[in-house]
Structure 1
Amino acid sequence: MNKVIVYYGPKKEFEKLILDVNMKTITQIAYESDLRRRELIVKAENTSLEYKPEHIENFVAYSDDYSGINESVIQNFISFISLYDINNLYLHNPPLHIHKQVEKTFKQLEVIYYKYKAVDVKKIKEFNYKFPNHIIGQEQVKVEILTSLYPLVRKSSKKPIVLMFYGPAGVGKTETAKFISSILNENLFRKQFSMFQNNEFASYLFGGSHAQSSFAKELLDRESNVILLDEFDKANSLFHSAFYQLFDEGVFEDKNYKLTISKAIIICTSNYKSENEIREKLGDPIFSRFDKVIEFNTLSNEAKQKIIELQLQNQYSMLSNKEKELIDIEYIREKILSISSRLNNVREIEKIVQDIISLILLRNLLSEE
């Protein structure tokens, strides 16, 4: 075999390594192997039948492929590929079973880890400059985040920064995580913990069969080193132990995968009202692992007015020229400002701006003959 590469990181970067289009994936090969095995059974009486291994220029296994193949192929991977004449082997985020077999078999093995974008002085300054125009009404949050992120600038610090954002819904917690990821020009890795029930969450965190989704596998596939664990408080405390080593050292391991993340920003969110409530509900073992607990305040009237203005500008800009002629933006502004005290968060403001504009346009449409 000429080349054996194990790559850990996002799929789009892995694909850049495979220059030759003459390739077959492990799912294609497994399917064809099953068909050929059936043919051999049918032809078993032909004693002159000779086996000639198929030549494969580039044998490729994507991260998603492992869930679609038989468990025995994963457990006996080297035996499986020995049935073929392979020039180059490319493995994307393989399970531990496969990595160990390949590492033991091939001396020319090359392991490549994707380098995620790092926080540096330039990014710190960009965050400081742009934050007030992206996250309205949370001025105190900016300094706390900057203080927390600065250790990542130092080359000696590789431990993930773990932050807990808490406060009312819709005041900027998730948007702040998205903003940090955008500063690094990467797609945010986001998991919504409220979507998991206890039974499925156990296998998701600790690993089930290779056919099941898992937190470890999705971490390997991620495109960003900004990791958002939304509604972290919804995870049963029974599962907090799964995060201890990740928060402490950046290491996460289940029964099928093991990975290390370096210089990551891990953001947990909750709707708790105080640090004391977080400590009481989550418990000291997980609370003590947050590098900083940052409060997002209820929006002030001034903040609401700024958000109303931004939402008006954003949604008005998306209208066609004909639609803009039908919209009296001053009338809408005054109408929404008059009820701003009853609006609690960004989502409510966005919705009412959208509803009023849509209602005006709908009335005009229905009045046309």
Structure 2
Amino acid sequence: MSNNRKYIVSIGSKTYFKSQLESQLPNWEDDDNVATFLDLVKESDERKTQGIPFENHADILIVYNDNYSGITEQAHDRIGVLIDELSNEDSTIYIHNPPIRLKEYLAYVKENEDCEVEYSSEIYTTDMNEEDFVENMHSISTNIFGQEQALKEITKSMWYLTKVERKKPYVIMLYGNSSLGKTEIVREIANKFYGDKFVEKHLSMFKNTTYSDYFFGEQPNRKTLGFDLLERNSNLIFLDELDKCPDYFYSAFYTLFDSEVFKDASYEVSTSGMFIILTANYLDKKQMMDNLGLPIYYRIDKFIPFNDFDCDTIRDITLKEIADRADEYSNLLTSDDIYEAVSPLISTQGENARTIKQKVQQVIEELLFSKIESEFDD
């Protein structure tokens, strides 16, 4: 059987893939000639179970990246052949973020069967002209307390990234005690510069070897780190609490931090231009070296410490926390009432955003309850 199929491959986010479809198939969602891969797989399986030949071959077949998790591992081994079995010999196939096995098949049919295979990749851009950059960083500084030097170092790194073209990712580590603003500053950067579009992974959730499939992609019908990076909406990657991640997953980060291509057993993805922000609760660089090991440590471009809050910063955060919650209590209490009651509970050192928030919460509850406490004492 001849193969005159045309394979159109899109690498990038779901939004990008949809835009590619719309540019070439304006009415694809209402076109009866268009079928989706997973729907036809299910139909084919049902007909085989019933002993009925499958004849509903697609003229136009769409293979979404989510479809790969809907088939068995055995089906992944022959995914290219399976796509051809579900389509006509002159069909057009639209493919989103193919796994490695499918990419190898496409390379084979292009070389040996002279099929047309077209690739397009999403281009990730960040608008950072000087005026907007300065304005955005000033805006971030008004929401982050007590970390002026850390913010200055982050600003240097981000401005550097606007002026150069990086082939490998740029990796920074924000470190220091918990609840000093590390995560908050990443979210501010995502909001002001990346439209809140970023890959966020809380590494403390990956506690044991059952998560190895995610990092190493050993089971192709499951989502992996490579899968998530392929469908990212921007080049901002946030890996939170690296110190909580078991060290047997570190090898997955070696190539992610230090290579132009990240590759697991199922997917490969270009890492060019990625801005990777790590956080950890380490207190100094020596502690990082000892716990992360030198292979990871030396793949990090920059280390930015977050300092414990001083007395003035603790006061500013307390006042902001009280002000931010005004809608909760404005008809019942005043901010002065709350500040007067909470001040004796808050230390001049050793506090962080979480402990301050908890103490303000405690005081608001106690002040509100005091108004009816006598009724419970009777």
Does residue 234 (structure 1) correspond to residue 252 (structure 2)? The answer is: no
Match of 1:329 among 326, 335, 338: 335
Q: Secondary structure at the match of 1:190?
A: strand
Match of 2:280 among 260, 270, 274: 270
Matched residue, 1:74: 76
Count of residues paired in the alignment: 355
Within 5 A, what are the aligned runs for 1:83-94? 83=85, 84-85=87-88, 87-94=91-98
Alpha carbons of structure 1 residues 149 and 250: separation in structure 2 relative to 1, 3 Å: farther
Within 5 A, what are the aligned runs for 1:1-369? 4-19=7-22, 20-21=28-29, 22=31, 23-39=34-50, 41=51, 53-83=55-85, 84-85=87-88, 87-105=91-109, 107-118=115-126, 120-122=128-130, 124-184=133-193, 185-317=195-327, 319=328, 324-341=330-347, 344-357=351-364
Q: Counterparts of 2:141 and 2:319 in 1: how far apart (Å)?
A: 14
Matched residue, 1:46: none
Q: Secondary structure at the match of 1:341?
A: coil
Q: Secondary structure at the match of 1:54?
A: coil
Q: Identity rate of aligned residues, in percent?
A: 31
Q: Would the aligned equivalents of 1:177 and 1:228 in 2 still touch at CA under 8 Å?
A: yes
Q: Secondary structure at the match of 1:163?
A: strand
Give 1:355 deviation, angstroms: 4.3
Alpha carbons of structure 1 residues 362 and 99: separation in structure 2 relative to 1, 3 Å: farther
Q: Counterparts of 2:82 and 2:76 in 1: how far apart (Å)?
A: 9
Equivalent residue letter for 1:346 = A
Equivalent residue letter for 1:14 = F
Q: Secondary structure at the match of 2:142?
A: helix
Q: Counterparts of 2:19 and 2:374 in 1: how far apart (Å)?
A: 55
* Structure 2 residues without counterparts, runs of 5 or longer: 23-27
Q: Would the aligned equivalents of 2:37 and 2:83 in 1 still touch at CA under 8 Å?
A: no
Question: Does 220-229 or 131-140 show the bigger shift?
Answer: 220-229
Give 1:359 deviation, angstroms: 5.4
Q: Secondary structure at the match of 1:229?
A: strand
Can you list the C-alpha shifts for 1:301-339, whole angstroms capped at 9, x where unaligned? 21122222222222224x4xxx53223222012222332
Q: Counterparts of 1:54 and 1:365 in 2: how far apart (Å)?
A: 72
Alpha carbons of structure 1 residues 78 and 242: separation in structure 2 relative to 1, 3 Å: closer
Q: Secondary structure at the match of 1:273?
A: coil
Alpha carbons of structure 1 residues 206 and 64: separation in structure 2 relative to 1, 3 Å: same
Give 1:172 deviation, angstroms: 0.8
Give 1:96 deviation, angstroms: 0.8
Q: Counterparts of 1:216 and 1:7 in 2: how far apart (Å)?
A: 15
Q: Counterparts of 2:10 and 2:363 in 1: how far apart (Å)?
A: 51
Can you list the C-alpha shifts for 1:273-317, whole angstroms capped at 9, x where unaligned? 111111122222211111111100111121122222222222224
Alpha carbons of structure 1 residues 33 and 324: separation in structure 2 relative to 1, 3 Å: same
Q: Would the aligned equivalents of 1:148 and 1:291 in 2 still touch at CA under 8 Å?
A: no
Q: Counterparts of 1:167 and 1:237 in 2: how far apart (Å)?
A: 20
Can you list the C-alpha shifts for 1:74-103, whole angstroms capped at 9, x where unaligned? 222232222323743222222111122124
Question: Does 292-301 or 222-231 show the bigger shift?
Answer: 222-231
Alpha carbons of structure 1 residues 134 and 257: separation in structure 2 relative to 1, 3 Å: same
Q: Counterparts of 2:235 and 2:73 in 1: how far apart (Å)?
A: 31
Q: Counterparts of 1:70 and 1:336 in 2: how far apart (Å)?
A: 58
Give 1:239 deviation, angstroms: 3.2
Alpha carbons of structure 1 residues 359 and 337: separation in structure 2 relative to 1, 3 Å: closer
TM-score by length of 2: 0.84
Question: Does 200-209 or 295-304 show the bigger shift?
Answer: 200-209
Q: Would the aligned equivalents of 2:338 and 2:363 in 1 still touch at CA under 8 Å?
A: yes
Can you list the C-alpha shifts for 1:26-82, whole angstroms capped at 9, x where unaligned? 22111101011123x2x6xxxxxxx67425354222222211112333222232222
Give 1:206 deviation, angstroms: 1.6
Can you list the C-alpha shifts for 1:213-259, whole angstroms capped at 9, x where unaligned? 32111211222322111111223334323222221234211111111
Question: Does 146-155 or 135-144 show the bigger shift?
Answer: 146-155
Q: Secondary structure at the match of 1:269?
A: strand
Question: Does 164-173 or 70-79 show the bigger shift?
Answer: 70-79
Alpha carbons of structure 1 residues 331 and 96: separation in structure 2 relative to 1, 3 Å: same
Q: Counterparts of 1:57 and 1:367 in 2: how far apart (Å)?
A: 78
